[in-house]
Structure 1
Amino acid sequence: MSSDNRIVRVIKGRRPKVVVIGGGTGLPVILNSLRKQNADVTAIVTVADDGGSSGIIRNYINVVPPGDIRNVLVSLSDSSPSFLDIFQYRFDSKDAFFAGHAIGNLIIAALTEMRGNIFDAVQTLSTMMNVDGHVFPASNEPLTLNAEFMDGTIAAGETEISGQRKQIKHVWVTDTDTPEETPQAVPPVINAIQEADVIVLGPGSLFTSILPNLMIKNLGEAVCQSHAELIYVCNIMTQKGETERFTDAEHVRVINEHLGGKFVNTVLINSEKVKPGDLDYHKYDEYLLQVKHDFAGLQKQCDCIISDNFLSLHDHGVFHDGDKVATEILNRAFQHINK
């Protein structure tokens, strides 16, 4: 962190307010780095997941799927490493119910029943876990993701949509329990967006982690009406059943089209090549090829393109370098504050 950045913080007398919207495995890396670099972070997390342990718990006791929320809580928590290890522990028991479940998912589900809703449950748990920042479920109710494909067919549910391996035309969300009602984000979510210096989308699955949040009517409207800079952290790899053969410009085009205008201001793209052997395709079987660059297309979709080596290789996977991405996000936030 440069001395200039520290001076800006002193002059302004507050931490930059960064709202990060998404879900999936890429989000916690960015959040943790933003926290380390002293940002005032609010994570708005998707509640439309229907896969894995989260999906099974959702089907059993009808709560918002907790998996993404669990990982985000850990990324912003100041709790002891031993506690976080327990919270993240996943049963390997052969028991029909516990096998594969993370303890944290069960705790979130239990607190949701105790508090009566997922939002209050997560706020209680945030206090217990000494979370530095805010973790807000995008909706207080479980949502179902719906998609129309280019061939006119329709599918519902994240797993079903990606499993079709078809090109997606657009997505929308419905209330799982009362489909006739329009999904809404709770007031603290909207307030955080309105007060943000920058709003960050991703990294994460375009159609199943990022767009489900923006398709919540009042949440998407708040993003479009915000004076904050809207930053998209483009994925490094294309994803099976979602963004096959997509360029970086096509990722941004889809976001803008779903928002109904040219709203993305800045795009962060990785310039480093992913080499053969960098990625274990058996372990990370949802990934396909590296996202190709289309700078001419990007210039039509956004105002600023930041291209750098954002690649981090570990656990036989391809990830964003959280510290580098966080630094660029905060640089944009400081510029916004100083306008």
Structure 2
Amino acid sequence: MISKWLIGGLGIKRWILALGISVFTLGVCCGRLCREAEIDRFYYMALAAFFSLVGTVSLIKIILFVEKIIKIAQSGHIDDYFHDVKARRRPAVMPPIVMIGGGTGLSTMLRGVREYSGDSKNLAAIVTVADDGGSSGRLRGEMNILPPGDIRNCLIALSTEEPLLTKLFQYRFKDNTELGGHSFGNLFIAALTHVTGDFVKAVKESSKILAVSGKVLPSTDVALNLKAVYEDGSVVIGESQIAYNALNKKIRSIAIEPEGAEALPEAVSEIEKAKVIIIGPGSLYTSLMPNLLIGGIKDAIIKSAALKIYICNVMTQPGETDNYSAYDHLKVITSILGERSIDYIVVSDVTNASDVLLAKYRASRAEPVKIDIEKIAALGVKIVRSDLSAASDFLRHDPDKLAKCILDIVKHKMPA
């Protein structure tokens, strides 16, 4: 919440600063006038009078601003107000940006970048379709459709529709009903798939209903299964089973089935048009790799001259990336795309998490990802490092911080 009050465009920080300077200056003037006889009294009295006026005006501005905010908050539109302020600060046009991933990480990044991007119609999300657990897994098995959950989250992240409609799409039915565990959005996309006869068409129609600014596309129109091979030779099939079965084991390799799954042509087209390609954040083996292992997606990324950015996770993930450093994450990506395939890696320090929260993560065998700068630099990848985390009940990327970081790279680092 505090970060909202620090965004530019509110017009309040300048008055707070002016009030602070005025109070300080008045204190200095009064001290001089009271303690020293042989001074230019007229100068200090004039200075005190001027800053009294500045301080008074500043205080009035702050009071009026607070009154306005209170009224907006009482009307229930405080989030809309901050959204409008951000919108006024957006740059005119953003280059075409493609973001590749899945899970919570991708939707988190999309939500932040949409807030700050000038023309978010230039945003495209390419989303994994390997999920086989929860509501998505049930619908995938029972209705023979692609898993809709990650797609739904990305649609919501890019939606410009009224909050009530987005809340409706995220509504999850209680477990004590026959629809228990399903979200309304998943059911809606599933029903629309049967009405239109095509999952991709259903996603496009959902995009219209939610007034999505940008595009959300599955990486393929084939529901994928993941096969993980561990260092002890054991094999686990299924995205939802990999982390569960991987305790105390290290993944040696990951594969998709069917192996020859073809990329969605529209997804390939978006990659070819992109000026910036962003991979991550997200579960390394179960959200990112399913996309990169699709031949058409991988080849399009490799051939692209776009700026390529990898967003490394904040925390390691039990069962997938135990004890992985940022370098280890990056090596898995480059093992598919090639050694010189990534221009920048974005890594996050964790400085704002409580000891209690960190202890909670350690109890589940998760740690902040270690940042091994020298090893990364040896790969020829530039490093962008900052504290981009948001600490609440979970440690993950803060949408605003991550979006600002990404757009700063795009603005200042992208080739002309």
TM-score, normalised on structure 1? 0.89
Distance in 2 of aligned mates of 1:338 and 1:219: 23
1:259 shift after superposition? 2.2
1:282-297 residue pairs with structure 2 within 5 A?
288-297=366-375
1:19 shift after superposition? 0.7
Partner of 1:152: 233
Letter in 1 for 2:378: K
Number of positions where the alignment pairs a residue of Structure 1 with one of Structure 2: 326
1:1-339 residue pairs with structure 2 within 5 A?
14-38=93-117, 39=120, 40-95=122-177, 97-165=178-246, 166-175=249-258, 182-273=260-351, 274-278=353-357, 281=360, 288-314=366-392, 316-335=393-412, 338-339=415-416
Distance in 1 of aligned mates of 2:250 and 2:291: 20
Secondary structure at 2:366's aligned position in 1? strand
1:159 shift after superposition? 1.9
Distance in 2 of aligned mates of 1:285 and 1:218: 40
Secondary structure at 1:323's aligned position in 2? helix
Tell me, yes or no, if the aligned pair for 1:239 and 1:286 is still in contact at 8 Å: no
Partner of 2:37: none
Distance in 1 of aligned mates of 2:380 and 2:202: 37
Distance in 2 of aligned mates of 1:83 and 1:171: 38
Runs of 4+ in 1 over 6 A off after TM superposition: 284-287
Tell me, yes or no, if the aligned pair for 1:197 and 1:336 is still in contact at 8 Å: no
1:154 shift after superposition? 2.2
Secondary structure at 2:378's aligned position in 1? helix
Show CA shifts across 1:121-166 (max 9, x none). Answer: 1011101110010000111121111122222332211122222222
Long gaps (5+) in structure 2: 1-6, 10-87
More off after superposition, 86-95 vs 219-228: 86-95
How has the CA–CA distance of structure 1 residues 336 and 268 changed in structure 2, closer, same or farther, with 3 Å as cutoff? closer
Tell me, yes or no, if the aligned pair for 1:73 and 1:131 is still in contact at 8 Å: yes
Letter in 2 for 1:276: D
Tell me, yes or no, if the aligned pair for 1:203 and 1:233 is still in contact at 8 Å: yes
Tell me, yes or no, if the aligned pair for 2:322 and 2:365 is still in contact at 8 Å: no
Distance in 2 of aligned mates of 1:101 and 1:52: 8
1:335 shift after superposition? 4.1
Distance in 2 of aligned mates of 1:2 and 1:197: 27
How has the CA–CA distance of structure 1 residues 57 and 281 changed in structure 2, closer, same or farther, with 3 Å as cutoff? farther
How has the CA–CA distance of structure 1 residues 302 and 45 changed in structure 2, closer, same or farther, with 3 Å as cutoff? farther
TM-score, normalised on structure 2? 0.73
- RCO higher in structure (CA 8 A, sep ≥6): 1
Distance in 1 of aligned mates of 2:279 and 2:106: 9
Flag the structure with higher strand content.
1
